[in-house]
A = this chain, B = another copy of it.
Amino acid sequence: MRTTETTATISPAGALTSAVQNRHPQIEVRPASTDTAAYRYDYATAPRPDAVPDGRPGPAVAFPTSADEVQTLVRLAAEFGVTVVARGAGTGLAGGASAADDQLVISTERLNRIVEVSPLDEVAVVEPGVINGDLNAHLREFGLFYAPDPASFEISSIGGNIATNAGGLRCAKYGVTRESVLALDVVLADGSLISVGHRSIKGVTGLDLTSLFVGSEGVLGIVVRATLRLRPLPVARRTLTAFFDSTASGAEGLGAITLSPVRPAIIEFFDRVSLEGIDGHSGTRLRERGESLILIELDGYGIDEQAADLEDALTRVGARVAVESDEDSAALWELRRYGRGLPASRRFIGEDIAVPKSALPAVYRSFAALEARFGVEISAVSHAGDGNLHPLITQEIKPGDDPAVVPESLAEAATELVRVALALGGTVSGEHGIGTLKREWAALELSQRSIEAQRAIKAAVDPQHLFNPGKAI
């Protein structure tokens, strides 16, 4: 069997696959082939559903079931000189988990055990392949929840959430993923396994490697276990809507929430085009209630006082505020997550910029000039409590256009909007990560010296550049 590994024509990835199959038959590995083509992509880079398969092979893909097997795979990959892409559920929106046919994907799909839930420590210990929503379903019986709630929570994995430092809707009150990760077990590029962090909220022994691994998009190590901070389910929840007469007045109105003493769990802002998009896609009539909407979830103690104080603050800046019934609340949050759809007749680019909260009105004001200049339409729903916008920049597909090609004017409009965010003191990516898609934009944000420092740290931890080359930094 060993002869197949050393023939002149076999690729390093092929030799690695054979070595895993021969030496460690208990680890399932699929060779690079058209069968693994799906692993070339994540949600950001996947072809449109109507695209014709191009017949190119995907990467080799391994499915370890233990930390030990991950260590084995990493050591073998280093031995054969094959670079490694760690992959959670593949729902990333920046290309961070995309892989080529000369790489090894280490999938965490089967590292999916909830190892422990400790109500007295308020922690859960999980493997990286556990789906975010599954964890929260499991925690409900304990009266606890895991706060980070990316919009993908039903399909994205905790490991992927950690790799991207995933955000979500509740971050202004409960923090991003980093604030809920207490400790990690990580496989390094030399195959060693280290434990970093603590099971307590406090702990300052040595450098904070836990935070460094969170959001590192697979370039520093592979997380094989995580200790997560949990919180008690709130004693009450309430949904408020605040409709305004224009996008501009709604964006300005957000400041009234900041200046009030109330800190909602969720503050989502919809501009006029976003409301129209939902109405068109979902058959609702939100637009009749106003030109923009702040959708708010309050939670915790004193919910009546909270609602009253917020209603006061928002009414004073011209909002029509309503406390929604439980049924209407559920429908509204469903619309927030799935209501908008994407226009089949238009090409689009989605963004993930974040700005200082006070700059949100300026971002919305910037859309008109960009629309006129580039012949596009721009709208945005915002996680307004943390300054994170998801602009959707679209352009009509004209007869004769290739729907698979992003026209230059659309790409230029997107880059220009990124520049607007940066000029306002903002950032290229609030919560999706840099991956492959946003490296050029990242270079607009970070200084050369800062990029050098990041690359030096990467090289210190992974001198062979084994992990996820060409991504993130």
Q: B429–A209 contact, CB under 8 A? A: no
Known A207-B473, A258-B120; contact A201-B176, beta-carbon cutoff 8 A: yes
Q: How far is the CA of A426 from the CA of B204 in the complex (A)?
A: 11
Known A356-B121, A456-B461, A457-B461; contact A450-B202, beta-carbon cutoff 8 A: no
Q: How far is the CA of A434 from the CA of B143 in the complex (A)?
A: 37
The interface stretch among A60-68, A190-198, A281-289 is A190-198
Q: Which residues of B contact A118 (CB under 8 A)?
A: 356, 358
Q: A120–B206 contact, CB under 8 A? A: no
Q: Which of A183-217 contact B (CB under 8 A)?
A: 188, 192, 194-196, 198-209, 211-212, 214-216
Cβ distance A455 to chain B, nearest Cβ, rounded Å: 9
Query: Which chain B residue shows the least CB distance to A221?
Result: B453
Known A143-B261, A179-B175, A456-B461; contact A212-B206, beta-carbon cutoff 8 A: no
Which of A205, A212, A309 counts the most B-chain CB atoms under 10 A from its CB? A205
Q: Which residues of B contact A425 (CB under 8 A)?
A: 199
Known A119-B259, A179-B175, A301-B301; contact A430-B460, beta-carbon cutoff 8 A: no
Which of B143, B194, B385, B473 is A453 in contact with, Cβ under 8 Å? B194
The interface stretch among A21-29, A37-45, A164-172 is A164-172
Q: Is A263 located at the chain interface by the 8 A CB criterion? A: yes
Known A165-B204, A208-B215, A302-B301; contact A358-B120, beta-carbon cutoff 8 A: yes
Q: How far is the CA of A354 from the CA of B472 in the complex (A)?
A: 34
Number of interface residues of A (CB under 8 A): 96
Q: Is A446 located at the chain interface by the 8 A CB criterion? A: yes
Q: A449–B357 contact, CB under 8 A? A: no
Q: Which residues of B contact A216 (CB under 8 A)?
A: 207-208
Cβ distance A202 to chain B, nearest Cβ, rounded Å: 4
Q: B200–A357 contact, CB under 8 A? A: yes
Q: A214–B209 contact, CB under 8 A? A: no
Q: Which of A271-293 contact B (CB under 8 A)?
A: none
9 residue pairs A–B, Cβ–Cβ below 8 Å: A123-B356, A164-B204, A198-B354, A200-B388, A201-B385, A202-B430, A203-B354, A235-B305, A457-B460
Chain A residues within CB distance 8 Å of chain B = 118-123, 143, 164-165, 167, 171-172, 175-176, 178-179, 188, 192, 194-196, 198-209, 211-212, 214-216, 220, 231-235, 255, 258-263, 300-303, 305-306, 309, 354-358, 383, 385-388, 425-434, 438, 442, 445-447, 449-451, 453-454, 456-461, 472-473
- Inter-chain pairs besides A194-B450, A200-B354, A301-B305, 4 sampled, C-beta below 8 Å: A194-B449, A201-B387, A207-B220, A457-B457
Closest 7 CB pairs of A and B: A302-B302, A301-B302, A211-B211, A120-B358, A460-B460, A200-B387, A201-B386
